[in-house]
Structure 1
């Protein structure tokens, strides 16, 4: 499953540079599938919506850092554990129960993005 950042986030920014998928954004910042990935053209989001990979999307959170679930692979294929959770000083990077995925699904997502 994807990782989410809880409202306990202190906005330290330690997580953002650790994400190999560029799935973490500062609160209030627009995001795109193409950011930090090799994706071009149409891309299907988790909810089935098809978007242009370069399309800028509304921020998921305004006041704290956030993780785009469509881009999060829990660092599968890159690291042994999610790096955001490993570096978070307040342990606010936790599994997102809304987005359950198998290791195989997470690895396939990684392959689609890189």
Structure 2
């Protein structure tokens, strides 16, 4: 599933550059993760890089966007090549 940044975010700006899919943007008050671009780093890394670098552990699974690893891999392929196959 996609990830989301919760209210504990301190806007430290370390997560956005770590995201290989450019899924993290500054929102109105805290950083936000675009579910349409978040693959939990499937296809790029073994672990989500935003979670790895976050100093306050404010990144959680987003229950509004459940996705299997296979679905995340398809999304990764679409984002990187434009081809889901």
TM-score, reference length from structure 1? 0.69
**Alpha-carbon offset, residue 26 of structure 1:** 1.3
How many Å separate the matches in 2 of 1:100 and 1:81?
17
**Which structure shows the higher helix fraction?**
2
Matched, 1:68 2:34: yes
* Structure 1 gaps, min length 5: 28-61
TM-score, reference length from structure 2? 0.92
**Alpha-carbon offset, residue 13 of structure 1:** 0.5
* Structure 2 gaps, min length 5: 81-85
How many Å separate the matches in 2 of 1:80 and 1:97?
21
Aligned to 1:39: none
After TM superposition, what 4+ stretches of structure 1 lie above 6 angstroms from structure 2?
Answer: none
Matched, 1:7 2:3: no
Root-mean-square deviation over aligned CA pairs: 0.6
